[in-house]
């Protein structure tokens, strides 16, 4: 198991950047690393990616200094286990609303004595047993990150209880789902969304956990970084490509 450079950067107090990745083409995630991103979120919730594709994307990411994170479709122990068994740097789980939800994530993501993750060393995470198995569960418990989405009003209301759950590295505040929960879908710059996220950021940092969120563009990313957000999902690969295409066509055609 590789040392998790993303986790080390966060622990050192640095902010980190990475896009969501919907594309199956391995070169895209490799380019993200070469371009200087710290991580990429392989999106199995909204993206059309299979587990086999996600595993190959993890391999491509590890050709660079990029840490691959896998977002699963829901808070489900088998999905969490598979996201980690393919050798990712961590799992990202959506729609966490209660302390019980957060505890379930940890149970699925961590080996005993921290959780109840199913055990097989014949995986990419276990290096297929090539280097033996001694100490691997402790090493994977330490290196593979647990990231949870708090992205609805109910989750924000239960944030104090969620923050009591140990072994969660990042609380990711999802502005789009939060806007939908508030009845203003897509209005992520509305003061009601921003104020709730700011209040949550203060609480999360005070609890000693890292804060994450999504930013549509670099200016928004800088705003959240200034407020102490260290895990910034900056754009989505297909959106970045779409904007670049639009700009190039406009530059030629006017």
Q: What is the pLDDT of residue 54?
A: 98
Range of the domain at 206: 5-253
User: pLDDT truncated to tens, each residue of the chain (254 aa)?
Assistant: 789 999 999 999 999 999 999 999 999 999 999 999 999 999 999 999 999 999 999 999 999 999 999 999 999 999 999 999 999 999 999 999 999 999 999 999 999 999 999 999 999 999 999 999 999 999 999 999 999 999 999 999 999 999 999 999 999 999 999 999 999 999 999 999 999 999 999 999 999 999 999 999 999 999 999 999 999 999 999 999 999 999 999 999 98
The tally of domains found in the chain comes to 1
Residues labelled as active-site residues: 46
Bond prior to 113 in cis (omega within 30° of 0): yes
pTM above 0.85, yes or no: yes
Torsion from C-alpha of 176, 145, 38, 173, nearest 10 degrees: 20
pLDDT of 2 reads 82
In CATH, what number is assigned to the domain containing residue 105? 3.20.20.60
Alpha helices in the chain (DSSP H): 5-11, 26-35, 51-61, 77-85, 99-109, 136-143, 153-157, 159-162, 175-181, 191-206, 218-226, 237-253
**DSSP 8-state assignment for residue 113:** T
């Amino acid at each position: 198991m590789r040392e998790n450079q993303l986790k080390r950067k966060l622990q050192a107090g640095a902010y980190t950047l990475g896009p969501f990745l919907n594309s199956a083409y391995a070169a895209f995630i490799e380019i993200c690393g070469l371009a200087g991103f710290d991580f990429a979120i392989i999106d199995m919730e909204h993206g059309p990616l299979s587990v086999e594709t996600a595993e190959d994307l993890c391999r491509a990411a590890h050709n660079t200094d990029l840490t691959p994170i896998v977002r699963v479709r829901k808070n489900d122990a088998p999905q969490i286990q598979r996201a980690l068994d393919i050798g990712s740097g961590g799992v990202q789980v959506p729609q966490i609303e209660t302390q019980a939800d957060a505890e379930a994530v940890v149970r699925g993501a961590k080996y005993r004595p921290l959780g109840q993750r199913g055990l097989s060393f014949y995986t990419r995470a276990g290096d297929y047993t090539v280097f033996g198995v001694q100490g691997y569960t402790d090493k994977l418990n330490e290196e593979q990150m647990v990231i949870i989405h708090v992205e609805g009003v109910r989750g924000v209301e239960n944030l104090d209880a969620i923050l009591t759950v140990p072994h969660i590295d990042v609380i990711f505040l999802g502005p789009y789902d939060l806007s939908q929960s508030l009845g203003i879908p897509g209005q992520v710059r509305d003061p009601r969304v921003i104020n709730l996220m700011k209040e949550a950021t203060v609480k999360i940092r005070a609890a000693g956990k890292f804060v994450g969120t999504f930013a549509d563009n670099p200016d928004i990313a800088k705003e959240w970084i200034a407020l102490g957000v260290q895990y910034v999902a900056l754009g989505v690969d297909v959106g970045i490509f779409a904007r670049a295409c639009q700009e190039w066509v406009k530059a030629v055609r006017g």
